[in-house]
Structure formats: structure tokens, C-alpha cells
Amino acid sequence: MKTFEQDIAERLSDIRRQALFRELRPIGTAQKPRIESRGRRLLNFSSNDYLGLADDPEVKEAAAEAVRNFGAGSGASRLICGSLGPHNELEATLAEFKGVPAALTFSSGFAAALGAIGALVGKGDVVVLDRLAHACLVDASKLSGAELRVFRHNDPESLEKILRQETCRTQGAATTARILVVTESVFSMDGDRAPLKEIAEVKNRYGAWLMVDEAHGTGLYGPRLRGVAEELGVSGEIEVQMGTMGKALGSAGGFICGSRPLIDLLINRARSFIFSTAPVPAAAAAANAALKKIMTGRCATHLERLWKNVAAVRAALGSPAPDPCPILPLHVGDEARAVEAGRALLDRGFLVPAVRYPTVGRGKARLRLTLSAAHESEDIAELLAALRALGFGRDFVT
Ligand SMILES: *Cc1c(COP(=O)(O)O)cnc(C)c1O
């Protein structure tokens, strides 16, 4: 039998051989465009802090005040004695922001997905998932014990085919099987959007439920910045709306919102909620302050700058612009070549990491470029010059 050390060493060399080895990069500054790593100054084009709120003075002050008033830690799970002022306030704000009766927060988006899907479906039920859905949605579906079916990325026809099969198959069952369709609104690695209107129409026709993860939509789209579902006018068709606070809201945590009974069920059945210490008060207060800022129109200039930056980069790269998105993948394909390209940019002082399997499919490696409202136009100009010098152009964008 192999020793523990042998086994680990072999697996690591396997990962290295496939150019898939990853390591942590220490960052010595707050999350913003100009960061420092290992004594080097870098221009950061890899953060999900789209509005630049992670380092916003008002958001930071809200976190500091929560520490002063409610302490560093929450002391217990929410159901024991950890439901502190900032948690309850944040959930009220989230419900108002999303225009729904209720919301529930989790320590992360990953935990929100695990808790919600596991509470809603189980053995004998079916989850129908977009092929490119985030790892947390995949793992949550697998862990739930429900049957997992996968539809072609952003393809309502493929979804319909599966729903037709599953409604036929489960009709004979003694109990009525639940069918939950799960997708994202803006996909985290491609920056493209789900056709939510068409998907909602299909799932309604088959009496299925719909869960949409708006991790990358919340705070950016729609007249009230609720997300893509609002922009497309389909919020009312989505039974389970999910979001995270670690992206545009500049904090950390995940949430589910919808009807009051949905939230009551999650409080009683979502294991990642019940058996986990409540998020630190500072994270909840920061997210709440970010939401208030967004809801009162005080992020209008942030959004203007963000979309201006996105338009500038897209125009320079010759990228077609169906829907604006701060996520811009530069497709390389080969894992080793993607790592090399990322390193070449790093040598020039730009942080645009290579994203590889298992985050994306094998042979679909890319540089994942993300833009923020906090980038100055000079930052963008410097990036574009570097990309040009390295030969990145139209061939790398879709
Ligand atoms: C980031 C992300 C999550 C996970 O959220 P965390 O709060 O980081 O755990 C879930 N879904 C999508 C689409 C994401 O991009």
C-alpha cells in the first residue's frame, strides 16, 4: 500500500504534469486596482469587486461600527443566539432591494447553494442543471440525493427535452417528484447570460421550479439593479433567487430570497444554515451598507465608469457586444499556454490569471479578465497596450 505521503506526492505530480497546479498568491493590500504582491506593484484585473465597494470608506466604516457594537464573532449559529442586529437588518434590506417578501443570508454563496438545493429536493426528485453552472450548484445538486440531469448551456430546447422525459418518467411514481431547474443569470467564467425568459416559460409549462444564481448579476443590471431577472422582467417567475455578497456588494456571504414560506423552510431545513456559526457581524453590515448605497442611487457614477471601462476594452479587442458584462474571457485553450500568457502579463505588471480545469472544461483554458468601476482610464489604456504587445486581439474573444 502507498504511504500517505507517496499518495499525495503522486497526485500533485499528476496535477503539475497537466499544467493544472495552482498556488496561493499573497496580496499585501486591500482589494483594488493597484495591489501589491511579493513586493511587486500590480494592476489588478482579476477581482469580482465590480463596483469598487470592497474598499469603499462608507462600506468599511459600517463594518468597523458593527465590530464595535456587535463584536468580532457571532458566537453561535443563527438559530441558537447568533441572529444579531446586522444579520436581521441585512435580510430586511435584501428583501426590499429584491422586491420579495423575505431573504435569508448564509456565510457564503457556496453555503447558500448547498443549503437551499438540499432543503428543496432529495431522493426521488430531479435537478436539471445548465452544463456550465458553478461548482457549488453542481455539488449541491449531487449532495441533495436528487437525480441530476444536465441541459446544454443556455439552451431552452435542451431543457425542454429533459423536462418532457422527466415528467413522463416520474408521472407513474406514487409520490409527485419535484423538478428543480437551476441556472445562473450571468455565467461566472464566460460572462454570457442565460435566456431566463425562455427558460421560465419552459419550466412553467412543465410545472417545474426555477432557481437562478445571480452572483454576477446582483447590483449591476435592471432598473433597480436587482439583477438580470429584473432587467428581463422575469423575477416573478423564479421561485428561488440566489445571490452573493462577495462580488458587486464588496463584502462576503450568500443569500436566498423569495416567498416567506420558502425562507421559513430554509431556516428549518437548510443544513449549511442550521449547523454553521452565523457570519461575522462586520460582513453583514458591510453588505447592508453597500446595498443601501446601491438602492439610493449613490453607485450611479460607479456603474457609469464600469460600463465605460467595459465598452473601452470590448471595442479595443473587437469583441461583439450583445450584453455588457465586466467578465471578459480571453480564450487560449491549452492549459500550459494559458498559464504562460498569464505569466507574460504578470511580468509586465498585470494580474489577469489563467483559469483552467476544473473551473472550466479541459482544453478551454482562458485568461479571465474582470473590470471594475475603480479602474481609471489610464489603467485600461495600460492593459490594452500590454494585451496588444502580447498579441491578444479579436481571435481570443467570442
Ligand atoms: C462566486 C460564486 C458563487 C459562490 O459564492 P461565494 O460567496 O464566493 O461562496 C456561487 N455562484 C457563482 C455563480 C459564483 O460566481
**Tens of pLDDT, residues 10-36:** 999 999 998 889 999 999 999 999 999
Using the mean position of ligand 1's atoms as its centre, give its distance from the Cα of residue 215 in Å.
6
Q: Report the mean per-residue pLDDT for the chain.
A: 95
Question: 200 phi and psi, to 5 degrees?
Answer: -65, -40
pLDDT at 398: 64
Within 10 angstroms of residue 8's Cβ, the number of other Cβ atoms is: 11
Which ligand 1 atom minimizes the distance to the CA of 113? 10
3-class secondary structure, 254:
strand
pTM of the model as a whole: 0.96
Predicted confidence (pLDDT) at residue 173 exceeds the cutoff of 60:
no
List all residues whose CB is within 6 A of at least one atom of ligand 1. Answer: 108-110, 134, 136, 184, 188, 213, 215-216, 244, 246, 254
pLDDT bracket for residue 84 (50, 70, 90) = very high
Percent of the chain with pLDDT over 70: 98
- pLDDT-wise least confident of 93-102, 110-119, 173-182, 298-307: 173-182
Mutate to test the pocket of ligand 1, among 129, 134, 141, 184 (most ligand atoms within 8 A of CB): 134
pLDDT at 117: 98
Q: How far apart are CA 394 and CA 25, in angstroms?
A: 30
Q: What pLDDT digit, counting tens, does each position of 249-263 carry?
A: 999 999 999 999 999
Which ligand 1 atom minimizes the distance to the CA of 253? 7
Using the mean position of ligand 1's atoms as its centre, give its distance from the Cα of residue 262 in Å.
21
Predicted confidence (pLDDT) at residue 54 exceeds the cutoff of 60:
yes
Which ligand 1 atom minimizes the distance to the CA of 246? 7
Using the mean position of ligand 1's atoms as its centre, give its distance from the Cα of residue 167 in Å.
30
Most confidently predicted of 156-170, 293-307, 315-329: 293-307
pLDDT at 91: 98
Sheet holding 327-333, edge to edge: 327-333, 365-370, 354-355
Which ligand 1 atom minimizes the distance to the CA of 252? 7
Give the residue carrying C-alpha cell 499525495. 8
pLDDT at 149: 98
Predicted confidence (pLDDT) at residue 361 exceeds the cutoff of 70:
yes
pLDDT at 108: 98
pLDDT bracket for residue 225 (50, 70, 90) = very high
Residue nearest to atom 8 of ligand 1 (CA): 109
Instruction: Using DSSP bridges, classify how beta strands 240-244 and 209-213 pair: parallel, antiparallel or unpaired.
Output: parallel
pLDDT at 396: 76
pLDDT at 172: 61
Using the mean position of ligand 1's atoms as its centre, give its distance from the Cα of residue 245 in Å.
9
Predicted confidence (pLDDT) at residue 387 exceeds the cutoff of 90:
yes
Within 10 angstroms of residue 37's Cβ, the number of other Cβ atoms is: 15
pLDDT at 391: 87
Predicted confidence (pLDDT) at residue 104 exceeds the cutoff of 80:
yes
Predicted confidence (pLDDT) at residue 170 exceeds the cutoff of 80:
no
C-beta of residue 124 within 8 angstroms of C-beta of residue 184: no
* Rounded average pLDDT over 379-392: 93
pLDDT bracket for residue 272 (50, 70, 90) = very high
3-class secondary structure, 209:
strand
pLDDT bracket for residue 174 (50, 70, 90) = low
pLDDT at 124: 95
Percent of the chain with pLDDT over 90: 90
Q: Which residue has the higher pLDDT, 177 or 8?
A: 8
